[in-house]
């Protein structure tokens, strides 16, 4: 007599591939990939083997076109293209923090040459009812994005980007108000568009650690405002409203001079103690398209600015990126270089990562080797690691940390330990790989305990992680 279990949906783990038939099932990637695919019964027309690989960026021939501020939230997924009779679901963990100003989107590529935004299916009744069964109960509470589709492409890419606030605007016009910054607005007058399209804005605030030098000289920056879709020409000029950069000085400012001088709307006079600091307000614009490197131009003289309620208003017939800078006069000649440096530092994508700290006795007498490994969440292999092979001992690890891509961090040692001259004291972070730095240490006082503290300091001079050190030398 045949078992009824043969007709039940499969529930299994897989390394790289799995076989699915009309019974459907729920398949979860093993070895901490966390990827889960749910295929309801009767969705597969015939048995099909689905392969799912996670690729690093250097393993993909054509990467998704990414603008500054955008980055891969996890490795790129390479799949077996397949078509189903009903929607199937994929749950993919991502390793970038979500906040009010960032969001996750999904791109797809059928052949690996051209990437488009993936839109989830809307009629998912079969999927919803199947997901309600006990076979699909989730165990792990991790950040995941959900993909539903009738057709699996060759590649999926999960992207973290600055949040875009969009509405549908047609010939009647409309207004996009930012929920992140209520002073930011984009007004589309009637007949600026001839058909109904999705338009929007993104507002990206610059972390103050990237503008310290400018701030000390009475400078300031506004958020970077992007009108989407970029490089679109309108039939009538639209009006963009941006807050005036707020100057915060440690001493009193001359409030009477906080407004532009007559005839010179871009010039402000600030007073700090008894020394006047003349600053210039300038509007920068970038016409670079999505996926292209941002190139800033100063359009202050060619764009009339009006001031109201601590905001600047101007009109444009082309959607682009806009940015207000208030610079001391002596910095104005280098405005584009300064803007480019601040922009590229601030627009780096944040990732969720952990720090692992190891040690071993060095060949040099009375010395130790301290190794710090920095790795994106989910990437660290805990079995048969390089550190185990090289006889390092784990001292400890950090909690989940937010780390910017391409960060260069310093290792600072204190207490009775110090680095030996020439020893590596910095670590560079790149996502989806294990980033290592090894420093050789020695005691300051030979007869005092081999103890101290390690600090990992970001390129913004912020202490990211601190851990006490105590080396049991001679006891291993």
What is the model's pLDDT at position 458?
92
What is the model's pLDDT at position 195?
93
What is the model's pLDDT at position 252?
46
pLDDT-wise least confident of 46-60, 161-175, 198-212: 46-60
What is the model's pLDDT at position 298?
94
What is the model's pLDDT at position 365?
67
What is the model's pLDDT at position 234?
94
Report DSSP letters for 221-241, one per residue.
Answer: EPPEEEEESTTPEEEEEEEEE
Q: How many CB atoms lie within 10 A of CB 275?
A: 9
- What's the rounded Cα separation, in Å, for the pair 329 and 195? 45
- Collapsing DSSP to helix, strand or coil, 388 comes out as helix
- Contact partners, residue 381, CB within 8 Å, separation at least 6: none
Range of 82-86, 272-276, 359-363 with top mean pLDDT: 82-86
pLDDT tens-place string over residues 423-444: 678 899 999 888 999 989 989 8
What is the model's pLDDT at position 276?
62
- Contact partners, residue 194, CB within 8 Å, separation at least 6: 171, 235
What is the model's pLDDT at position 270?
46
Average pLDDT of the segment spanning 80-88: 92
Is residue 277 within 8 A of residue 328, CB to CB? The reply is yes
Structure tokens at 401: 């940390």
The answer on pLDDT for 336 being more than 70 is yes
What is the model's pLDDT at position 291?
83
The pLDDT mean for the chain works out to 85
What is the model's pLDDT at position 273?
47
More confident residue, 19 or 8: 19
Average pLDDT of the segment spanning 32-37: 80
Average pLDDT of the segment spanning 210-215: 87
Write the CA distances from 64 to 114, 157, 259, 278, 401, integer angstroms: 8, 8, 44, 44, 26
The pLDDT confidence band at residue 78, using thresholds 50, 70 and 90, is very high
User: What are the residues facing 360 on neighbouring strands?
Assistant: 369
pLDDT tens-place string over residues 384-398: 688 888 889 999 999
Instruction: Decide: residue 43, CB within 10 A, 0-12 exposed, 13-18 middle, 19+ buried.
Output: buried
More confident residue, 434 or 70: 70
pLDDT tens-place string over residues 255-311: 444 444 444 444 444 444 445 677 889 999 999 988 888 999 999 999 999 999 899
In 15-66, alpha helices (H): none
Percent of the chain with pLDDT over 70: 85
What is the model's pLDDT at position 13?
63
Write the CA distances from 409 to 60, 69, 87, integer angstroms: 28, 20, 45
What is the model's pLDDT at position 75?
92
What is the model's pLDDT at position 12?
62
Q: How many CB atoms lie within 10 A of CB 277?
A: 18
Is residue 27 within 8 A of residue 20, CB to CB? The reply is yes
């Amino acid at each position: 007599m045949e078992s009824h279990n043969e007709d039940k949906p499969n529930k299994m783990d897989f390394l790289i591939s799995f076989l699915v038939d009309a019974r459907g099932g729920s398949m979860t990637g093993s070895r901490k990939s966390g990827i889960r695919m749910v295929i309801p019964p009767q969705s597969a027309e015939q048995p099909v083997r689905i392969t799912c690989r996670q690729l690093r960026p250097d393993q993909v021939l054509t990467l998704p076109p990414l603008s500054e501020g955008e980055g891969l939230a996890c490795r790129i997924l390479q799949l077996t293209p397949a078509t189903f009779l009903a929607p199937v679901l994929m749950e993919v963990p991502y390793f970038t923090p979500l906040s009010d100003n960032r969001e996750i989107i999904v791109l797809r590529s059928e052949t690996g040459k051209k990437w488009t935004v993936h839109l989830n299916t809307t009629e998912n009744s079969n999927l919803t009812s199947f997901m309600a069964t006990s076979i699909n109960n989730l165990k792990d509470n991790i950040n995941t994005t959900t993909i539903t589709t009738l057709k699996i492409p060759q590649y999926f890419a999960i992207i973290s980007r600055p949040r875009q606030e969009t509405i549908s605007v047609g010939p009647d016009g409309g207004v996009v108000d930012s929920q992140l910054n209520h002073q930011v607005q984009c007004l589309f007058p009637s007949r600026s568009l001839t058909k109904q399209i999705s338009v929007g804005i993104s507002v990206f605030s610059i972390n103050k650690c990237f503008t310290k030098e400018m701030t000390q000289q009475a400078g300031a920056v506004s958020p970077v405002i992007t009108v989407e879709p970029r490089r679109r020409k309108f039939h009538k000029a639209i009006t963009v409203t941006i807050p005036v950069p707020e100057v915060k000085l440690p001493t009193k400012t001359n409030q009477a001079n906080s407004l532009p001088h007559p005839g010179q709307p871009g010039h402000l006079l600030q007073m700090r103690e008894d020394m006047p600091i003349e600053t210039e307000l300038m509007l920068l614009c970038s016409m670079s398209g999505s996926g292209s490197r941002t190139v800033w131009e100063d359009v202050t003289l060619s764009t009339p600015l009006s001031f109201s309620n601590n905001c600047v208003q101007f009109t444009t017939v082309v959607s682009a990126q806009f940015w207000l800078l208030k610079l001391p006069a002596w910095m104005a000649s280098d405005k584009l270089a300064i803007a480019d440096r601040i922009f590229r530092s601030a627009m780096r994508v944040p990732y969720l990562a952990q720090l692992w700290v190891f040690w071993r006795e060095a060949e040099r007498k009375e010395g130790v080797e301290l190794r710090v490994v920095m790795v994106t969440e989910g990437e660290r292999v805990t079995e048969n690691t390089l550190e185990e092979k090289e006889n390092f001992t784990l001292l400890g690890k950090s909690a989940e940390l937010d780390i910017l891509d391409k960060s260069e961090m310093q290792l600072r040692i204190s207490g009775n330990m110090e680095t030996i001259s020439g020893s590596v004291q910095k670590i560079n972070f790149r996502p989806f790989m294990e980033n290592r730095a090894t420093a050789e240490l020695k005691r300051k006082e030979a007869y005092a305990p081999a103890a101290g503290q390690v600090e990992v300091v970001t390129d913004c001079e912020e202490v990211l992680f601190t851990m006490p050190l105590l080396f049991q030398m001679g006891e291993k």
